[in-house]
Amino acid sequence: MVDKLANLLLKIRRLSIFRVFQRTLVMLMPIAIIGTYFQLMRNAVFSPDSFIYNVLNFDETMPDDIWYAGAFISSGMVRATFGLFGLYAAYFSARYTARLYKKDSTSVGMTAVIVIMFCAYANNLGDTTGNRSPFSASILKVNAMLLALLIGYVVGQIFHWLGKDHEPIEFEHTSRIRKRAWNALLPASVSILGGLILGVSIYELQIRIMSSDTFKTLVAQVENSNNLFEIILLLIVVMFLSWIGIGYPLNALSNSAVNTAAMANLNYALKHGSAWDVPHKFLGSSLVYPYAWMGGASVGLALIIIILLVRENKQNENIAKINLLPVVFNSNWGLMVGMPIILNPVLFLPFIIIPVVNVLLASAAIALHIIAPCVYPVLRGTPGILISFFGSNGNWVNLVFSILLFILDIVMLIPIASLGQRIEKGLREREQKNE
């Protein structure tokens, strides 16, 4: 059974689209890690509503000049890395697709950039939010990575079908470069024409694709629902979207949701001095963030712990080490991209199932009066395992439960991590044989 599963996953990983996506994400790892650390600084150090800021009392100890400089730099670097991540993803996805078929990767990459920028332009028309940029940031952000990867891959395929083979050399004469440019004219024109059709369709239909606004209804449903069955179904959708590179819904979820049910729970807890008998015990906002995702600890941190304990792969070990600090404080993009977790067939099921198991166990514990519901707002960047502790106003049983839940997540991930190593070994062997 395990052998059949491993062979199936190996075949999936060998598909051209997954080979391109995985290589693109690994290439973008340095950008993602740099962005993750600046995101950590912005959200956890230079934000007044953050965990580190308040624990270290930066309001009193940090000079205003340092705070303003730190906030400016960290915010700017997050925009330069994650704010334009789709641009980088489209470029490298196109290049790796071209290399796979021995085409001119530079021309392909630049064509993909033109296509995604036109789509971003078309998606921004009619924007009434006062955005001063002519391009829509939502399409270019890391949260919309899937669209960028697909654009790059499709452009690469068009060059594969219509372009001529290209053999790169160290130094080219002008005449050879001119020939390359001429050979790229037909596939580039077809690709741009396809981009024009897509962009015009976006404009005419007023499609707000890959925007946070597109997923507001989904996020609101998850946070406002007090129906466990509905929460589980919506959670599966949210985790799936995150796995394919659409991170808007998951990133928008928190246990600090401002809605009627959440406010009723908070008011009850403040009035009675306890959250045990709040009217909405199984509210999505008090289940998903503290337990399903644990701010990123449920899958991300568990995977890091396994890698550091097993120490089978030096490269994975280095990725785990450098992402340990950000993941602890809920900045996960470096790990999601660098491992990669996004669009990794091996991690598809655990990425979805583990959060569901966590919610079911947490709901059972709440129903049995073992743990208290999380109804209190939690500071940004609070370590995932501590979220339920602070969300229940310091209930130690909640903390112990979260630790046990995290250990269970590690146990559930161990066979998956072992399977992943086996598949990576198989991929290396195939590549060495040039299959």
Burial class (CB in 10 A: 0-12, 13-18, 19+), 126: exposed
Which pair of structure tokens corresponds to residue 90? 């489209």
The alpha carbon of residue 81 and the mean position of all alpha carbons in its chain are separated, in whole angstroms, by 14
Provide Rg for the chain, Cα atoms.
23
Residues 6+ positions from 280 with CB-CB distance below 8 Å: 226, 261, 262, 264, 265, 286, 373
- Phi and psi of 56, rounded to 5°? -90, 0
- In sign, the C-alpha dihedral spanning 295, 298, 299, 305 is positive
Burial class (CB in 10 A: 0-12, 13-18, 19+), 313: middle
CA–CA dist 382, 390 (Å, integer): 9
CA–CA dist 148, 158 (Å, integer): 16
- Phi and psi of 371, rounded to 5°? -120, 155
> With a cut of 70, which residues of the chain have pLDDT below it?
1-3, 125-133, 166-173, 175, 177, 205-212, 254-258, 296-297, 429-435
CA–CA dist 188, 199 (Å, integer): 16
pLDDT in the model for residue 172 = 64
CA–CA dist 388, 365 (Å, integer): 13
CA–CA dist 349, 415 (Å, integer): 12
